[in-house]
Amino acid sequence: MSKKRILVIEDDRSLSEVLAYNLRQEKYDAVVALDGMDGLRQAQLKTPDLIILDLMLPQMDGLEVCRRLRSDPVTSNVLILMLTAKSEETDQVVGFTLGADDYVPKPFSVKILLERIKALLRRRESNGEASDTIVSQGVMIDRRRHRVMIDDVPISLTRSEFELLEALVRQPGRVFSRAELIDAALGDDALVLERTIDVHIRALRQKLDKHSELIETVRGVGYRFRDPDTAFKKQTT
């Protein structure tokens, strides 16, 4: 089973490092963004299971980040736990109105925060959220079981191939650069050449067999998963 991915959007570098360290100790896949814009970019690049979102952020505050996350189909179902040094009840009300799932005021105990995270994830598991499964154009990705099926036939993928395919299928039609795909599939700590992605894509296409054309090359930029709406229009013209 793949690790739960938690994105920490917090501009206090020391606090974000403490949170990331403790999350990794609890076997979560923790990533950090130090401002609202980067947080949105990372959430859209590889959808996390839960976002720890500070309210007071540079470039874009936490309330606006929350609003945009909820309005984007890619991130609309992600769990959001808000942090803030503000104690005013109005901020909490606005946060919940925009779609935050929980709210923790600063200062807080890391132990208590971890328990709140576990409770949110347990609730999501018990509700059996469909976001664990992605289906598009004959491709089915089951994140919980780390399984991929093509036309109801299972195929075997490496971890990197699985992460690559998931990133592409989640946002059909979006063009990913090789650098973005490295972040999505291999992680921030991976020291690899961008052309390594080409090797992974080639292997992935071979395993997709007759569905290999679903992964399109955008010359000079990167790759995308075919937009089903565009494909349908081509078939009807």
pLDDT computed for residue 171 by the predictor: 86
Task: Provide the H-helix boundaries in the chain.
Answer: 13-25, 36-45, 62-71, 89-98, 110-127, 159-170, 178-186, 196-208, 228-236
pLDDT tens digits, one per residue of 80-123: 999 877 655 566 666 677 778 888 888 889 998 999 999 888 87
Structural domains of the chain, ranges and CATH numbers in brackets: 5-127 (3.40.50.2300), 132-236 (1.10.10.10)
Q: What is the pTM of this model?
A: 0.65
Q: How confident is the model at residue 233 (pLDDT cuts 50, 70, 90)?
A: very low
Burial of 218 (0-12, 13-18, 19+ CB in 10 A): exposed
Which residues are CB-neighbours of 85 under 8 A, at least 6 positions away? 55, 56, 105, 106
Give the model confidence (pLDDT) of 14-59 as tens digits.
999 999 999 999 999 999 999 999 999 999 988 899 999 998 899 8
